[in-house]
Structure 1
């Protein structure tokens, strides 16, 4: 609970989010400086729980949160597609990128690339791979250095890892040769970004494939032996998606908070303070839209659009087919 700075109010904004508490606190405090009369009830939830609670509370007619912010793009779009979100137009809606806005009900607010992370001392004598072809070549030419020292997400347990791989499959016909080569090199799989980054920064792993760029950039700031590269062949970009639930008790407050995060100030705060990258083209023009990770000039950026196309990733038969192909490739066959 974040009490109203003014000390006298019965105005309370409810937020459900998958953003870590320490990062959220910075945003909430900045918002309250502009709106000292508003108290905020913030709940940090797993993405699946966030989706379930909004559906259940709305269906029960008891009212639900005023603002939902989640890294599960597919689940957020499902809420909007199924009628659990209301359209909201802010001052920045007219200039928001088309890929980042679905029917004014679901807005992408961050711009988070999938990156290669690497252990700098392990590449002291050679450049680290910058493309998928480079990665294949490095594994083939350095079997001793590569064996057991490549890491990636366990896509059966990591939602963002699954989304990255699904997009890889759509964008790159040779992806399964890459996965098979990683499998032959004894790739290590982990469900969370932090587990991968910890092992890369201390040298247990030499390189990590398709890691979430926002967390990797922050980790690299604090661990000088860890470096990151935005792939030069193509870079998949995912986003955290915001919406105002149809059953919100105070949709006006939710809309006010959404407008703040879409504003120049809010986008700058997301990008610079939290190392989450800005969607806003105005903010992106002032700095790297990768939140300071590196200049994106010349990169082939492939954002995942906020659209009903994301619902295909929730289809159980589609998921089963992708996981089966992943397991077959990772076994080296």
Structure 2
């Protein structure tokens, strides 16, 4: 498994809300003033973060207008399925933080194979049959309140975390936070991967439960409480958002766990029913290009998958060098479909609830 050696900071929270909501549609006119064609994009990336990418793409293709629809991840999946089945065509490109739902689209025949100039050297874990590509590289981190660890090292592994709770119960009780995995999609994904990678994970969760772990559905709620010291440690927070928060809040520190670091990605694909698959392929190729990956990693502070960009970039925003860490990306593969299985989900949530109760 090929992995980037160095990667920059990470800064954008995944859109993890579920439920139906109206799409936010924005039209980016052709830069030449004469639109010869228009690409339709469905994405979960906020407009202000998508704009630099789309405008750079249009600089390369000044006669292309862009119709950009900002959707919740579940709605994005459902729109493509519904529109494809209706036979009216759908988006030309889809870019989503819901790895499992993007793979479901590809696995169910709703995405087409696209080979770009960079496909040949794309990491194996980040490409499934040329139909779905991981385009970012976003780790789970420990976040901590720096003043609470004055004169001592914060935990850097899961074993360290358990030891700190045992040796400093007065500091730890009620001051450990993590996602409510029943409400947080990324929290659920991180815990599912922890279970796969680390046999002792439930003893860690049980120890947090005995210390009265606090659960929240969003990264922002956790980071706010770490900033003001209500929480001393946050477990498995999304590094892309946490790094930007740490940059603005100096009392927040970040650690990529040294035992292993789970990594998630945003996934891009060209729908099978795209009305202009040629344009969707052009946008995918741009996002995989050195220029597109540089924009993702620097302009948006999202880490790049591209080995070239990853090798040249330097960490910022509070994140350490990733070289030498045991990075465990979630592979872009049908294995992600297991996370959508309701029986599997119910079993994991039941085990979580049992462990969090301290048993």
**Normalised-by-shorter TM-score class:** over 0.9
* Aligned-residue offset at 1:201: 1.4
Does the residue aligned with 2:28 lie in a helix, a strand or coil?
A: coil
Question: Is 1:150 matched with 2:197?
Answer: no
Once the two structures are overlaid, the 10-residue window that deviates more, 283-292 or 195-204, is: 283-292
- Cα shift readout 1:280-301 (whole Å, capped 9, x = no counterpart): 1111111258987221121101
For residues 2 and 265 of structure 1, what CA distance do their matches in structure 2 show?
20
Equivalent position of 1:237 in the other structure = 263
- Cα shift readout 1:109-161 (whole Å, capped 9, x = no counterpart): 00111000111111112111100001001111111111111111111111111
Equivalent position of 1:262 in the other structure = 288
Equivalent position of 2:3 in the other structure = none
Equivalent position of 2:5 in the other structure = none
Could you tell me the TM-score, scaled by structure 1's length? 0.97
For residues 66 and 275 of structure 1, what CA distance do their matches in structure 2 show?
25
Equivalent position of 2:335 in the other structure = 309
- Please point out which of 81, 87, 99 is paired with 1:55: 81
Unaligned runs of at least 5 residues, structure 1: none
- Cα shift readout 1:57-106 (whole Å, capped 9, x = no counterpart): 10001111111111111110000000000000000000001100000000
Residue 178 and residue 94 in structure 1: after superposition, are their counterparts in 2 closer, same or farther (change >3 A)?
A: same
* Larger RCO of the pair (alpha carbons < 8 Å, separation 6+): 2
Equivalent position of 1:102 in the other structure = 128
Equivalent position of 1:224 in the other structure = 250
For residues 290 and 91 of structure 1, what CA distance do their matches in structure 2 show?
29
Could you tell me the TM-score, scaled by structure 2's length? 0.91
- Please point out which of 193, 196, 201 is paired with 1:170: 196
- Please point out which of 35, 40, 44 is paired with 2:70: 44
Residue 281 and residue 3 in structure 1: after superposition, are their counterparts in 2 closer, same or farther (change >3 A)?
A: same
For residues 315 and 147 of structure 2, what CA distance do their matches in structure 1 show?
28
Q: Is the 8 A contact 1:277 1:290 kept in 2?
A: no
For residues 287 and 317 of structure 2, what CA distance do their matches in structure 1 show?
15
Q: Is the 8 A contact 1:152 1:187 kept in 2?
A: yes
Q: How does 1:181-260 map onto structure 2 within 5 Å? A: 181-260=207-286
Number of residue equivalences: 333
For residues 54 and 270 of structure 1, what CA distance do their matches in structure 2 show?
24
For residues 149 and 195 of structure 2, what CA distance do their matches in structure 1 show?
28
Does the residue aligned with 1:285 lie in a helix, a strand or coil?
A: helix
Runs of at least 4 residues of structure 1 off by over 3 A? 288-292
Q: Is the 8 A contact 1:115 1:213 kept in 2?
A: yes
